[in-house]
Amino acid sequence: MIRRGFSYGLLSTRRRARALLLPIVTTATGAFLVVQVFSLTGSVKKQATTFGNKDEIFRATLLIAVVVLLVGVVEVAVCSTRTINQRTREIGVLGATGVRRSPVVTALMVEPLVAATAGAAVGSVLAVAVDVLFAAVGASSTSPQPGPTALGAALAISISIASAAITSIMPSWRAASRPPIRSLSHGG
């Protein structure tokens, strides 16, 4: 039954792909910044040493990048909540036809998780591509380090997925728990 909810969620996500562009772009921007901060860790710390406490400056830079990433995830959550509110009648029909709560929640969770994952993956890939391109043409005085870059990409993707799941589970659960007659008659 969960598998059917997942399949239904993928179809719905594909149908609403244009509505997901802004959350994906916002999340990609945050992921790009997180990967850039991690890939240039050595350079940032070296330059920060001349200004004072290198660890504090690095933490501040990393914090700014993570905040931007979380803003993207909040955009995903807002989009998810808006989608759930627009789909109340559909959710009511699913409930009225006997579809249990867990497949409905699964279907509703697919969209924010796909948007967060896609955004973080696109941002991470773009960050690595920019690093490679700048190093190849000599536009950067520092070369990115593979280990911290991979760590930054893994962190950006993990934070995006976890945050999207955490922020979307309650609205999805509430919508799937609503009596079908209420969803069909009021739309909310």
What digits encode the pLDDT tens for the residues 64-92?
877 877 787 777 778 778 888 888 888 88
How much is the mean pLDDT over the chain?
Answer: 84
Joined together, the tokens standing for residue 173 give: 């659960």
What digits encode the pLDDT tens for the residues 29-67?
888 988 888 887 777 777 777 777 777 777 787 788 778
Between CA 159 and CA 179 the distance in angstroms is 33
What digits encode the pLDDT tens for the residues 134-155?
888 877 766 677 888 888 899 8
What are the residue ranges spanned by the domains of the chain?
2-11+22-186
Between CA 74 and CA 68 the distance in angstroms is 10
Residue-level pLDDT at 5: 85
